[in-house]
Amino acid sequence: MNEKNFIRNEMKERLSKLSKPYYEHYSYKIATNLYNHEDWQQSKVIGITVSKEPEVDTYQIIRKAWESGKEVVIPKCHPKKKALTFHKITKFSQLESVFYGLFEPIIEQTIEVKPENIDLLIVPGLAYTNEGFRLGFGGGYYDRYLPGYNGKTMALAFHFQVISQFDIEEHDIPVSKIITNNEVINTK
């Protein structure tokens, strides 16, 4: 097993052992740290995934964005091309479960939003370095999307998801900030 797969499996194991009270508390702290950050406050269009436990809860973040008058755009995977597009949603009923139990926008009910119109992209992952490099879930979708995106990037992570290092590849693009339940890490 290569290093990345070992770290992926180890992190999935650690996440699975996070109790519901800690999951809720840490997710709340991360969301609060996010709301207090100027990148969030200044952004009008937020790109974010719909979380699946035990990932950091993004449902509360999506609701807060709507309450704050922000637009929310959710990724849609296109497996044949291994590509992502983002679509504006205004309610959770515009989502459907497609692959691996992930919720994605229903194309017929949503409008595609181009990368240049997204102010802040919250990039998912399993593990991160202090420099902002991320270890994703292995599909490479964000590795293909990020080169064409020039807005602000962030990651949301439980404190134990930030690790000292893993192998970085030439195509890896770091996020600018990592918001954890303990701190905000500025990577650039």
Domains and their CATH numbers in the chain: 3-186 (3.40.50.10420)
Strand pairing category for 177-179 and 71-78: unpaired
DSSP H or E run through 62: helix 59-67
Alpha-carbon torsion (67, 68, 71, 74), positive or negative: negative
Question: Helix (H, G, I), strand (E, B), or coil: what is residue 141?
Answer: helix
Q: What is the pLDDT along the chain (188 residues), one digit of tens a residue?
A: 588 888 989 999 999 999 999 999 999 999 999 999 999 999 999 999 999 888 999 999 999 999 999 999 999 999 888 899 999 999 999 999 987 778 999 999 999 999 999 999 999 999 999 999 999 887 889 999 999 999 999 999 999 999 988 888 888 899 999 999 999 999 87
Q: What is d(CA 69, CA 72) in angstroms, rounded to the nearest whole number?
A: 10
